[in-house]
Amino acid sequence: MNLEIKSGEGLKLKGKLPDDAKNFSFNLGRSASDIGLHFNPRLHENVIVCNSKRSNNWESEQRSGHMCFTPGTDVKFSIKFGGDKFDVKLPDGHEISFPNRHGYDKLTYLSVKGDFKVTSFKYE
């Protein structure tokens, strides 16, 4: 999906996790090969992995054991793009921060993959 998000802006996402949900990911960046934030809750591993990708090469993972996504539920969360970092506000209010490793000033690419059906999407 093409979009344009500048520093200080963000996204609010709502969706549904199927009963057999195992994992999903949101990728924000410039293209499929240059991703500033890869946000990947792995329900079957009880971990949320954040990462970035540069020229199609994954960088070092950041893992959080704070899992609040449950299969078979409706969820909403938001991603705020700050100049130096991404802040992801999880459904229970907990926040995960991830550095803007590439120094992007705007994001133009978003993809959603895996076990997450988007029902609502809006800019903040």
pTM of the predicted model as reported, rounded to 2 decimal places:
0.95
Domain CATH for 65:
2.60.120.200
pLDDT at residue 36 is higher than 90 = yes
The answer for 20, left when phi > 0, alpha when psi is -120 to 50, beta otherwise, is alpha
- DSSP states of 34-92: EEEEEEEEEGGGTEEEEEEEETTEE---EEE------TT-EEEEEEEE-SSEEEEE-TT
Q: Does residue 25 contact residue 42 with C-beta atoms inside 8 Å?
A: no
Which residue range forms the structural domain that includes residue 59? 2-123
Q: Does residue 124 contact residue 80 with C-beta atoms inside 8 Å?
A: yes
pLDDT 10s digits, 42-86: 999 999 999 999 999 999 999 999 999 999 999 999 999 998 999
pLDDT at residue 1 is higher than 70 = no
Tally of domains within the chain: 1
pLDDT 10s digits, 95-107: 999 999 999 999 9
Q: Name the average pLDDT for the chain.
A: 95
What three-state secondary structure class fits 95?
strand
User: What is the phi/psi pair of residue 31, to 5°?
Assistant: -165, 175
Which residues face 12 on adjacent strands?
78, 122
